[in-house]
Amino acid sequence: MRDHETPCAPRGWVVSLLFGDRPPPGSVKDPDDGKPRRSAPRSVLDLIALAIVPLACGPSEALKPVFPARGQVFLDGKPAAGVLVVLHPIGDPTPNALDPRAVVERDGTFVISTHYANDGAPPGQYAVTVHSLKSGPDSGEAPAAPGGDSFPARYADRRQSGLEMKILDQPNIIPPFRLTR
């Protein structure tokens, strides 16, 4: 941490943005150790920084409540181990809506995560996509399926996958997704 920063990450970021690696304007050197020390604000930038910092250190937006959700994915009757399941909110007007996700285990099971590992998903209706971790949801490549075969690309497109699920405001056991080639 630099001498002119505080433990509040946003405040440190604002100070760094405004002043870079140099001490902020209005700083004076301490006669004992020679390190910069803040004095009273002396410039317009100082006043702007003082106005912004409290906003940057204010409380963060509350996290959406989530409810546990688990399920299974099979491809041609076999566990689809190592694929990524992504939930896309349907009809959520929030500009940066959360996309809960999960990695499918060797036995075909998955547990949804949104804010923290295995915490669940916000209640609502979701379109579901399934992707290989090797190719990812935005790579444009057809994901690899269990056994190294080509994974059906339609499952990686939310408009073509045909997969949906509903998360209720209670623990959720999602019926298995039984995918075919």
**77-107 pLDDT, tens digit each:** 999 999 999 999 998 877 777 899 999 999 9
Whether residue 156 contacts residue 162, with contact meaning beta carbons closer than 8 Å, is answered with: no
DSSP-derived letter for residue 49 is: H
Strands 109-111 and 69-75: antiparallel
Q: Where are the domains of the chain?
A: 9-56, 69-179
Q: Is the pLDDT of residue 5 over 50?
A: no
Q: Is the pLDDT of residue 48 over 80?
A: no
What value does the mean pLDDT of the chain take?
A: 74
Whether residue 89 contacts residue 98, with contact meaning beta carbons closer than 8 Å, is answered with: yes
Stretch (H or E) spanning 163: strand 163-167
CATH 1.10.3470 fits 69-179, yes or no: no
Strands 124-132 and 83-89: antiparallel
Q: How many CA atoms lie within 13 A of 173 on its CB side?
A: 0
Stretch (H or E) spanning 48: helix 44-56
Task: Work out the angle between the directed axes of helices 44-56 and 9-19 (0-180°, nearest 10).
Answer: 160
Report the pLDDT value the prediction gives residue 93, as an integer from 0 to 100.
79
pTM given for the model: 0.61
